[in-house]
Each structure stands twice: as C-alpha cells, then as structure tokens.
Amino acid sequence: MYTNFYKKLSLIFVFAVGINLSAALPGNISILVDKSAPAVVNITATKDVSKGQSYSLRGLPIPDEMLERFGIPREFRDIPQQKREAVSYGSGFILKDNYIMTNFHVVEDAGEVVVSLSDRREFKAEIIGVDRLSDLAVLKVTGDNLPTVRVGDSDDLKVGDWVVAIGSPFSFDFSVTAGIVSAKGRSIQNQNIGNYVPFLQTDVAINPGNSGGPLFNLSGEVVGINSQIYSRSGGYQGLAFAIPINVAVDVAEQIITDGKVSRGYLGVRMSEVDSDLAEALGMKKPYGALINDIEDGESADNAGLLPGDVIVEFNKKEIKFSSDLPHVVGQIKPNNTAKGKIIRDGKQIELVFVLGELPTNEEEFVPAKLQSSSEPLGLKVSDIDRDNPSMTNMPDGVIVSRVNLNSPASGELFRGDVITMIQHKGKKYEVTNVESFNSAIEMFSSDDKIAIHLIRSGNRLIRSITLN
C-alpha cells in the first residue's frame, strides 16, 4: 500500500518539475530567425601562403652529400617555394551603414574577403580595421538596401537567459542553435586576445565557422559575437564564449571613427589574493587585485597606489579577481578620470586615477621607486654589498642567500630574491638591512601569516609565508 503511494507521489513530483521546466523553455524561435537571419553573413577569407619543398628524413634536412649518393641532381635539390591559396570560413553580421562585424582571426592576413547573404547575394568586402586584443574586425561592402541587426544591451543579460546563435559551422550556412548564458565576465587569453574582454560563457552549440557570428537574445537583439570554444577535440563540448556586444560596438565605433582602438592603462603588475595573503594583509576574505609592482610615471604611480595595495572596486565596478581589472580599465578612454577603492593596511581608502593609454607594443615595464638568518622562515639573508658592481643598482633590502629545504620559505622564496618589505595584518615593516629584517621577524609568532615583498629578476612580487 505504502509502496504504491510513494510511486504515485514520485510520478506527481516528476510531472510537476516537468511542467516548471517546460515553462522556462523559449517558445518557437522561428520568428526571431526569420527577422534576424537576413543580416547574418557567411565570410570566406582567402590568403596566399608559401609552400616550399625540400628533402628531409623525419623532419630533418638531408645533407647534400647524401643526396648526391642517391643520385639526385643538384638542380632538383632546392625547389623554389610555391604559392597556394588558403581559405578560411567564418560568420558575421551587418551592423549599420554596410559595416560588417566579425572576428579578427576570421580575416587575419586575408588578401580577399567575400561575404554572402542568406538571399545568395555576394559582395567583396574591404577590411576597414582590426583590433587584435579583442579579436574583432570591421568590414565594409558596397550594396543597396542591406539588412541590419538590432543591437541589444549585453549588460542586461543574466545568467540563465536564453540566447540564439546563427552562423555557418563547418560551412553549413545559416545554421541556428540555442542555449543559455552560463556565466558572465569570463577571462580568456590566447595568442590573439589579451585580457580585455569580459566574455559571455554559453552552452550554445558553436563550432568552427561560427566565429564572428551574432548571438541573439529572445527579443532578436544582438548581445554578443561568438568567438571561441573550449574543446579538447576541436569540436563543441558545451563551453562557448562570446564577446559582449557593448564591448564590440565600442571597438567598432573607434575603428570606424579613428581607425584604431584606445584603451585606458594603469601601469601595474598584479596577482590574486589567496586566503593566506588575505590574512597577512588584514583582509576578511580573499578578493580583489593585489598590486605587486607599479610602473614609474604611469597612472597608478601618479595616483599614489603602492605595492601591497589591493584594488577591490574600480570605476564603480567590483573587482573580485585580478583578471577583472583589465576588463574595467580597458573600457575607459585614456585621460579620463576614475575612482578606485583600495585596501591598504587593513583599511579601505579611495584614490583618483587619471588613466594613461595602453601601449600598442611591448614596452619595457619600468618599476616605480619604493616608498621608502631567520629561523622562523627557514632562510638566510645578507646585506646588499654596494661595492659589488652587480649589486650597485639593487633597491634597499636584504638578499636571500639560502633557503632551507622543507622550510616555510621553501618554494616561495629563492636565492637571489631581494626582500624589501614585510606585511602582517595590514601593517608594513620596511626592510633596509639585516638588522631591520630580523627586528621585524622577531615581532611575529608561530603560525602568523606574513606577506613578503620582494624583487626577483627585476620584477616585484608578494608571497605569503606561515611562520614556524
């Protein structure tokens, strides 16, 4: 009797859950597709590549004397490189005024770009400009009465919202897939993209050929540009990433208007705050961007930011991880002012920054000047010998001469590191010589977590160590 009752109850429960789930599913999206697909384009990019031919064995060149032994004439040994065409396929959409948006990697090094519409019209496209750091490109075609997409607001998206992708995976033109927003503000870096795009993560089925295509909300508005997948096989595995349309439109407008993209720049090196560092820095929990080093004369230096500071909010946006900061800073135009909330010595302060401009090339990072044997750690330190030419330009501090195996400092500090400061529960102790170092260490107790400020190979770092 009771068994039958519970079986019926289980069936009722499953049925009820099924009703709730079906209510959350989108209705027929065919209307959305009918209205939006005409503005989606298929992109064919062609580029010339050189193909050389040479004699080799298992990838290694064969010496001339061996070729002679096999009777291969000299005139056939060096065959000139031949030109061949490489074709890549992707997707895009018409933004406005015959301007088309797609991914940079779709048209990279292309000699000719052709776009095809769903009505089978084809146009040769001009590459107006590209932005490698966001993996975006703007094209333009000459044509009449071209359809355009409606642009939405990617900031309004919520995790769990339904989204629809239209593109050409594996050259299957104008394919439609749907899914939900899995996460927002993802940080992804590869050879093309710096850390300047807060990606949307979705479970929409995306495959090669979808790159550059639009991601729509259920209102038929573009909210993202499908850009990447995370895959071990090369195909879709449930993790797709799209560039938020707010970021993409800003990049496009700058390319169209100025021919380039400008981003704000702080001039810092940073790392994550773990639980040990949080305790050492006097923070209640690990969060924010820990500043390891500051570039001389740049925005952070001018604003008074110091190594050991933790940025927890910038331009009214919360900074949970260090990877969040470039997203926020990069979206602010150079020379604009922004406020930042900082944790320093266990207390929150506010600084005002006038942003510089992100360098367009890899320029040398010039650190700003500093503001001013230990058994518990398991290391030996010594004073910096200013008479030694190799140590003349070292900052004030002590140099690590030995780190004991299996000591608290083992794996965190290394011989040659220069210790410049120690921090505990937000309080800082400057280290100028062995005496000041030992005096600071004597103030701590066993199991205390301290933050060691150090310089290694010219870079400033901060490491947390628990004392014996």
Q: Return the minimum-mean-pLDDT range out of 58-62, 170-174, 184-188, 252-256.
A: 58-62
d(CA 16, CA 26): 18
**Active-site amino acid positions:** 105, 135, 211
Model confidence at 51, pLDDT cuts 50, 70, 90, reads: low
Q: Which helix or strand (DSSP H or E) is residue 115 part of?
A: strand 112-116
Task: Check: CB of residue 242 under 8 Å from CB of residue 227.
Answer: yes
Query: Do residues 352 and 437 share a domain?
Result: no
Query: Do residues 226 and 274 share a domain?
Result: no
Q: Is residue 353 part of a domain?
A: yes
Q: Return the minimum-mean-pLDDT range out of 191-195, 248-252, 293-297, 318-322.
A: 191-195
**Residue found by looking up tokens 């929150």 in the block:** 348
Q: Is residue 347 part of a domain?
A: yes
455 or 61: whose pLDDT is higher?
455
For residues 428-453, give the mean pLDDT.
89
Q: What is the pLDDT of residue 70?
A: 47
Q: Is residue 69 part of a domain?
A: no
pTM of structure: 0.69
Q: What is the pLDDT of residue 443?
A: 85
Question: Measured between alpha carbons, how far is residue 251 from residues 135, 320, 356, 404, 462 in Å?
Answer: 10, 25, 18, 52, 35
Query: Do residues 268 and 226 share a domain?
Result: no
Task: Check: CB of residue 253 under 8 Å from CB of residue 244.
Answer: no
Calculate the CA 273 to chain-centre distance: 18
Model confidence at 99, pLDDT cuts 50, 70, 90, reads: very high
Q: Is residue 52 part of a domain?
A: no
CATH number of the domain within which 290 lies: 2.30.42.10
Q: Which of 258, 274, 294 is the C-terminal boundary of a domain?
A: 258
Q: What is the pLDDT of residue 235?
A: 65
For residues 388-401, give the mean pLDDT.
81
Query: Do residues 283 and 322 share a domain?
Result: yes
Q: Is residue 63 part of a domain?
A: no
Domain that holds residue 329: 264-357
CATH number of the domain within which 204 lies: 2.40.10.10
**Residue found by looking up tokens 């295509």 in the block:** 213
For residues 10-32, give the mean pLDDT.
55
Split into its structural domains, the chain has a count of 3
Query: Do residues 184 and 283 share a domain?
Result: no
